[in-house]
Chain A
């Protein structure tokens, strides 16, 4: 039997399967990758989880929250500066997260406190972006 000929024949027979498989894998990885970078989902997640932390906080507390995933998504979506991403409106007790241009997701907190926020880059164990919240008394 001619081994070279049979290998070439086998490849040519299966090339269509390989093409379909590669197309499928690329589509799925694009779908999952896209979901991982889903600004709407992550904005809702951060808005809700951080307001809940503020609800539980007491005056004098300082909260340090890893927001690396959020800042990465925002920068990918052309949000101009990191200081635009997380914003507190102390008048209305409202916290907003902006991970894409032209849209922000907001949630309200019932704890009647004043929140001062700051983003520090490259903090934490792995050099990640950290949101620092200082909880103060509302005057």
Chain B
């Protein structure tokens, strides 16, 4: 092997090494960004909170789950499976629907199985209402019939 050929070989190795680093950067960046899929739990929690807050200001007091679902046009089964609603009147819990509790909201950022939540407070007829909503809905893959 001539002296010059050895230099060329070294150059090819470093060239491939640089290409490898660039490729690894593109692939790992893409993976890091998209690995968790498209997460809209926070947006869903916000939508549910907005819907209940609006409904609450238009209707009389909602003191029972049945009132909440019938007056606000919310599907009870879906809430029980994938969402969380907690309503407190002057710190006393009057409604609690869903499979999670409010303490799990804190873990929503770290674990996809826990809900992401939104809370708001309304004053009505001298009482303070605390409304907490959460979503832990993950998409379902199915084989169509």
Contact status of A28 and B26, CB under 8 A, knowing A52-B40, A102-B144, A110-B83: yes
| Closest A-B pairs by Cβ, 10 of them | A55-B47, A112-B75, A112-B73, A48-B40, A106-B140, A110-B78, A24-B19, A45-B38, A108-B78, A104-B144
Find chain B residues with CB under 8 A from A13 CB: 8
Q: Number of residues in B with C-beta < 8 Å to the partner? A: 37
Contact residues of B with A, CB < 8 Å?
8, 12, 15-16, 19, 22-23, 26-27, 30, 34, 37-38, 40, 43-44, 47-48, 50-51, 69, 73-75, 77-79, 81-83, 137, 139-144
CA distance A41 to B25 in the complex (A): 21
Assess whether A107 is in contact with B74, with CB atoms less than 8 Å apart.
no
Category for how many chain A residues contact B: 35 or more
Contact (Cβ within 8 A) B139 A105: yes
Query: Nearest Cβ distance between residue A70 and chain B, in whole angstroms?
Result: 13
- When C-beta atoms are compared, the residue in chain B nearest to A102 turns out to be B143
Residues of B within 8 Å of A105, CB to CB, are 139-142
Q: Kindly provide the distance from the CB of A52 to the nearest chain B CB, expressed in whole angstroms.
A: 5
Q: How far is the CA of A44 from the CA of B142 in the complex (A)?
A: 12
B73 lies within 8 A of A111 (CB)? yes
Q: How many angstroms from the CA of A23 to the CA of B140 in the assembled complex?
A: 38
Given A21-B19, A47-B139, A96-B142, verify A113-B73 contact (CB < 8 Å). yes
